[in-house]
């Protein structure tokens, strides 16, 4: 009987231990930053009732969800963390304190096409602030600061948080009397992929009259510093309440982002961001690596008017941002863009000589409350193989315990990076490693 060839499912990510340690450390940095900012954890099941997942209707969602084959249960795997959040907030509304600040880090599942860097199973790291009836616009400025803090810790590359406000462009369309604004927004949203000229060409093909085409083209061409963009918006002469509200909110979010401490060169007002057309209603965000824009947005989100309208009559406005961690990790690893983050989980390897295992185990027990992660190598092998074992696991130190060390109550410690070796007592050992 032949062996079955071992292989994981296409569209899933499995890592060797050293890379998994890096992944976990990045995930921990994200979670620790969420916690530090006062966000509370939740965890929901990886599957939901189909009536919950598909409450907004079918379409592309129906094609992408993984249904669980069961005659008695009509359930599927979650495709994001937002729908479970909406259900959660509606279900536990009376038990929650508002504004409700939650974070959720977990796996989601989508029937993505098989292609490099895209996954059917992947981690998302979400934060949202949910209001009861209303939510102050200043919350829209805090979330980008949290993203700035996270990316500053993990990425060795310049990045910028691009943002806009959908009220501005929707107000422009209202002012111009444009009916098919959804089509217009979808075309403008492609500007990063196809460029300005092709966007203008596609806008022409929608049947816009010359005046409206000129006004929309003038709008999407607006560029300059953040201050200049705001000035140009004010000088367009658009008389529309929604437009004015959007510009007002844009200015307030921008000013608050600076107050939070985001450097000016990490903030970019980008009026062509039109993501989440059927969901977001105000502020929208996209984060780009400045020298790798071809990777697309590495973090995105925005403001929505009513999170859970399919599940409750309560009005629950909110703002959220999501990091697709699995895809981001793959991209940063592929381009070698990580800052130096610890990739070893073991601080030192104890190597006992013959008849010294009792002394080695006593040493291991001494480390119990030290905060150090220590392992003993028990296998019978040559010293070269033992050192090679430590090297391959990125263990920085080996601690050799033999008859001499046992007799003198000392330990010989070697730094595998520098090759330096010294014999010390336990206090000296703790200081060294």
How many Cα atoms within 13 Å fall on the side-chain side of residue 72? 0
Q: What is the C-alpha end-to-end distance of the chain, expressed in Å? A: 50
Q: Which positions make up the binding site for L-histidine?
A: 80-82, 110, 124, 128, 275, 279-280
DSSP letter at 201? Answer: H
Q: CA–CA separation, 28 vs 36, rounded Å?
A: 12
Instruction: Name residues whose C-beta falls within 8 Å of residue 382's C-beta, 6 or more positions apart in sequence.
Output: none
- The percent of the chain in helix, strand and coil, each rounded to the nearest 5, is 40, 20, 40
Q: Which helix or strand (DSSP H or E) is residue 106 part of?
A: strand 100-109
> Rounded to 5 degrees, what angle do the CA atoms 326, 119, 275 make?
80
Closest by Cα among 283, 385, 386 to 375: 386
| Ramachandran region, residue 59 (left: φ > 0; alpha: ψ -120 to 50; beta: rest) | left
Binding-site residues sit at 80-82, 110, 124, 128, 275, 279-280
C-alpha 147/C-alpha 305 separation (Å) is 22
């Amino acid at each position: 009987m032949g062996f079955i060839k071992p292989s994981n499912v296409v569209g899933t990510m499995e890592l060797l231990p050293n890379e998994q340690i890096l992944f976990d450390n990045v995930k921990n940095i994200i979670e620790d930053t969420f916690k530090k900012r006062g966000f509370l954890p939740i965890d929901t099941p990886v599957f939901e009732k189909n009536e919950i997942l598909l409450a907004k209707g079918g379409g592309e969602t129906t094609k992408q969800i993984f249904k669980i084959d069961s005659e008695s249960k009509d359930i599927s795997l979650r495709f994001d963390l937002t729908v479970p959040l909406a259900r959660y907030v509606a279900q536990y509304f009376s038990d929650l304190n508002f504004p409700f600040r939650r974070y959720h880090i977990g796996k989601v599942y989508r029937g993505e096409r098989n292609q490099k860097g895209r996954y059917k199973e992947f981690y998302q790291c979400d934060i949202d602030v949910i209001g009861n009836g209303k939510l102050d616009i200043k919350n829209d400025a805090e979330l980008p600061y949290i993203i700035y803090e996270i990316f500053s810790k993990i990425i060795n590359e310049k990045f910028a948080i691009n943002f806009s406000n959908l009220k501005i462009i929707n107000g422009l369309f209202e002012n111009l009397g444009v009916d098919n604004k959804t089509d217009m927004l979808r075309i403008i949203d492609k500007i990063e992929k196809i460029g300005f000229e092709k966007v203008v060409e596609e806008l022409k093909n929608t049947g816009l009259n010359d005046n409206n085409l000129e006004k929309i083209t003038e709008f999407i061409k607006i560029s300059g510093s953040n201050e200049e963009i705001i000035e140009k918006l004010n000088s367009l002469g658009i008389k529309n309440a929604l437009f004015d509200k959007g510009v007002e909110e844009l200015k307030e979010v921008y000013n608050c982002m600076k107050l939070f401490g985001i450097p000016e060169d990490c903030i970019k007002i980008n009026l062509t961001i039109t993501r989440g057309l059927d969901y977001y209603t105000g502020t929208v965000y996209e984060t780009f690596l400045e020298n790798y824009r071809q990777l697309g947005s590495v973090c995105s989100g925005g403001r929505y008017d009513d999170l859970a309208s399919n599940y409750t009559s309560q009005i629950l406005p909110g703002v959220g941002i999501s990091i697709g961690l699995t895809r981001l990790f793959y991209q940063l690893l592929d381009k070698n863009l990580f800052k130096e983050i610890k990739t070893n989980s073991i601080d030192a390897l104890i190597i006992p000589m013959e008849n010294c295992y009792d002394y080695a185990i006593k040493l291991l027990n001494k480390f119990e409350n030290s905060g150090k992660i220590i392992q003993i190598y028990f296998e019978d092998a040559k010293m070269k193989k033992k050192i090679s074992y430590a090297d391959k696991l990125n263990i920085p130190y080996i601690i050799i315990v033999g008859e001499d060390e046992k007799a003198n109550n000392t330990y010989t410690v070697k730094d595998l990076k520098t090759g330096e070796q010294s014999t010390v007592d336990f206090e000296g050992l703790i200081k060294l490693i």
